[in-house]
Amino acid sequence: MVGLSTAWLAVDRGYMLGSVSIGDWTAWPRAGTPDADPYSLAWLARSGEVPLGAGEGIAFTAQADHGGEPLAGNCVYRVIGQTPAARLWTLTAYDSEGHLMPNAAQREAFHSQEILRRSDGSFEIMVAADVQPGNWLPISRVDYFELVLRLYDTPLTAGGIFGGSTMPEIRREQCR
């Protein structure tokens, strides 16, 4: 019983070994390689998710803002800064179950080639349920959501040096 229930807990919660955190973001670089651990494989098998391979890119997930508070649909967030070097990146919002959220703007993601940047190359994306000026990534008024930043064709997966990399900060503005 203990064995089964701890196994169920470990797999259901998506507990995977070998996570790497940069700032507010976490990635599992080994999940997309032949060396993926049994916990990752079990979780992937249950979720039906297909991980990005090491030759394709890497996905960073954020479930909390810079202050450590869980991301909530009734707040406005400012995702600000720069990403590690990558040929292409996309930022997508999912609900707590990993599904895309319906929104009136028909926009579910931003990618690096369409974004408005500042002169120093940094960017700012507003994540909110209500219309925002500039780059606006709409979400639904859900209790929790998560952001996934996918870096495609990045030297991060080749060398695996995560130390000197910077990821954008997720700042919470106002909540209602």
Partner 1 sequence: MRRTLVFVLGGLLLAGIIHIATVIMVPYFATDDASTLMRQFGRADVFHILPRAEAGAEPLANLDPKMLYAACRFSLSDGPVRITASLPNNFWSVAIFDRRGRNVFSVNDRSAERSELDLAVLTPVQMAQLRQDPPAALETAIVVELPLDSAFALIRVFVADDTLLSRARADLETADCAGTL
Residues that bind partner 1 (CB under 8 A): 1-4, 6-8, 10-11, 31-34, 36, 38-39, 41-42, 44-57, 87-88, 90, 92, 94, 97-103, 108-109, 111, 113-114, 148, 150, 152-153
| DSSP H or E stretch at residue 147 | strand 145-152
| DSSP H or E stretch at residue 20 | strand 20-22
Q: By C-beta, is 14 or 81 nearer to partner 1?
A: 14
Query: Cα-flanking dihedrals φ and ψ of residue 92, to 5°?
Result: -130, 145
Angstrom distance (rounded) from CA 46 to CA 76: 32
Angstrom distance (rounded) from CA 28 to CA 61: 9
Give the nearest distance from C-beta 58 to partner 1 in angstroms: 11
Give the nearest distance from C-beta 174 to partner 1 in angstroms: 25
Q: Which two tokens stand for residue 29?
A: 């670089």
Amino acid identity of residue 82, one-letter, is Q
Q: By C-beta, is 32 or 84 nearer to partner 1?
A: 32
Give the nearest distance from C-beta 23 to partner 1 in angstroms: 21
Give the nearest distance from C-beta 34 to partner 1 in angstroms: 5
Give the nearest distance from C-beta 83 to partner 1 in angstroms: 15
Q: By C-beta, is 161 or 175 nearer to partner 1?
A: 161
Q: By C-beta, is 88 or 175 nearer to partner 1?
A: 88
Measuring CA to CA, which residue among 80, 144, 89 is closest to residue 114? 89
Residue with tokens 């169920």: 8
Q: By C-beta, is 54 or 170 nearer to partner 1?
A: 54
Q: By C-beta, is 152 or 162 nearer to partner 1?
A: 152
Give the nearest distance from C-beta 92 to partner 1 in angstroms: 6
**Contact assessment for residue 17 and residue 40, using Cβ atoms and an 8 Å cutoff:** yes
Cβ-based neighbour number of residue 25 at 10 Å: 21
